[in-house]
Structure 1
Amino acid sequence: MSKNSIQIFDTTLRDGEQVPGCKLNTEQKLRIAKQLDLLGVDVIEAGFPMSSPGDFKSVEAISKLVKNATVCALTRANKKDIEVAAKALKHAKKPRIHTGIGTSDSHIIHKFNTTREKVIERAIEAVSYAKTFVDDVEFYAEDAGRTDNDFLAKVCEAVIEAGATVLNIPDTTGYCLPNEYGAKIKYLVDHVKGIENVIISCHCHNDLGMATANAIAGIQNGARQIECTINGIGERAGNTALEEVVMILKQHSNMNLDTNVNTKLLNYTSQLVQQSMGMYVQPNKAIVGENAFAHSSGIHQDGVIKNRETYEIINPEDVGVSKSSIILTARSGRAALAYRAKNVGYDLTKIELDVLYPEFLKYADTQKEVNDQDLHQLLSSKDNFKKSVNF
């Protein structure tokens, strides 16, 4: 793996599907898994086989279907979970077992009622046992974001020795600030023996709206895998959004980091997940929201019509959107009105535009948006346009 390549670990079918009301059947999971493989993600976390017979069946079916990506199954740090995961993954071309345990004092004391030493023992046992089934074992240190860095480093060193190939450093509660999360990754890079032989992975939650920023801070400090979901879906406020981190790396080419994702498939993949799960993104969602490439302010519209890059840093075609949208509202200017009128067959002169514009504003003040049908009605109802415009 190149030092400049960032692996995209998609957990839409595991962490994303944990959202209330987003349960998928096996057929739906297979459809999304196939699309994720086409999209070019490096790892598909297919599910948690031990959690239910249905999830086991889905992981097994996805393992048979996926041609390119690594197929990953989640477990807790116990033998039964690992055995079931290994069985579900037996048909995968590139299987990975993802096992781990909570490492913060909060988890150690309140969740497990144990000690730091016992947690390290369980971590070593889980990784060692998973390694008897597959070569690729990822270890997650749950709640690493609130784990003391020195202890976290000890856990990481122990599981590397046990055979872990990937270290997942989750900000499970979405608590970290980007500089704190980045510093945590750098601390591990600087203090863990053998860290150069494994991949560090960022798994960030969005409770404070910083999942994407934290993931980017992680890779800037040495992580080389980002765990994310389509549309940022996931537990509580969600996970790092795949489409956001992929496009950040694409647009900020000075970072000299890239992914294998075919960005032209992002919009379609987003729509597929929205429709399958019945969980639709807000219009202003970055990259895939309905308004991501829509302009309604007159100043912005004038700039975009003259040169798209004045207000758009991403070419919509790069993410699978056909073109930018000029939305007519009471905030729109003459340039936008002329542009939209031309799109529906009315090539207005300056004089015609000057006459029409006040009428348009009166009408627009009564509407949230002026659509093509409204434009036809507005233009065709004026005698002066009937005489001067050929339509």
Structure 2
Amino acid sequence: MQAAPPPAWPPPGDRLAREAKARAPGRYDQENRNKWLTQEGYDLDYPFYGFEDVDLVDDHGDSVHGHYRQWLRQHHPAVEALIGPKAATPAPDYVLTSFGQAWRTAVPQELYPSAYIADRTIERLERAAGQPFFIQCSFPDPHHPFTPPGKYWGMYDPDEMELPPSFHTGEVPPPHVAWLRRQRDGGKAVKHTPAIFACTEREAKEALALNYGSITNIDGQIGRVLAALRRLGLENDTVVIFTSDHGDYLGDHQLMLKGPIHYRGLVRVPFIWHDPRQPVRGASSALASTIDIAPTILARAGLAGFNGIQGKSLLDVMSGKTARVREHLMIEEEGQRVILGFDTRIRCRTLRSDRYRLTIYDGAEWGELYDLERDPIEARNLWDDAEYADVKAGMVQALVRGMLAHIDTSPYPDALA
């Protein structure tokens, strides 16, 4: 007689009470929005994530906090009252403004957070005085809520935007995307939060136009920073990297914002590397990850990574010495919200190869498999397609090996005597 399986421990209803809640030493309130907005002189502990000096601009749109708000309050106090949707210029032609995903900010473009970030970056370059430096110039835009300032709001016409090719495919979407569309079609979509939702054609076109406005604004600010490099004689002695933390859905597969659905519009991001001493020409199709950026920077600086650092240097790919650094690329997601029709928070893993993308969700019997060579917009899910059974099996095995390879190995446990 087979023994009954042991019960889950701790029991589901008792797990929260048994969570390990003890915090390691350190301040966990350094990016607390309320404290930055209400406590005069509030500041960070330094070094902050390794940086000796920081001008913090946290959150998105025109409603950021941190050092930017302190600076605005000190130098332009009247402008702080112009932040947010209540002070915004009316924009009745935009549907997105009706549920708080966009507003026409009244903050002047020369005082908008993107301009402040470029100004502070230029100041840091001027203060470098020939000493080696590492500067992270990080813009909160483009991001929802969409609030491009001044001329950038109406720079692009929503009526002239083309919907992504994946908006109308005729294919049956996977269960979580189908659930979002049912919520929209039934009038139950939640559109005012940061969570992903299924959008209409008009909403997608507005988001595209406003996002393009934000990007054009950032292009101009980056241009100012690069001009400062030239003016200061640093252009031929500075490696410049341009990248992003994630993409956004702007109508892709009828989706908006971001969430644990790994279509290429979300997980594929730009990465530009300009090195005046080791020029790189052309683009690479090599699979690369965000975790490769740090090892690449360290290798270029002639420094060793710490014991157990993950990721791989991309220098050999960029120099043409090799065509790739890995066969597969793994994406891990540990969700915080209960969304997309799941009954618990979402945990998923994705594996990309040159040709295929596979995604599995914890607790779901279904999954996703796409042939990116035949179907670059990921319209046809091949998970249950018998023709691709061997491909799926091979990708699942590679995913398991990838998960093992990415387990922390530092500090590695001592061998038992």
TM > 0.5 fold call = no
- More contact order relative to length (CA 8 Å, sep ≥ 6): 1
Structure with higher Rg: it is: 1
Q: Given the two structures, how large is their TM-score scaled by the length of structure 2?
A: 0.30
Q: Given the two structures, how large is their TM-score scaled by the length of structure 1?
A: 0.32
As a proportion of its length, which structure holds more helix?
1
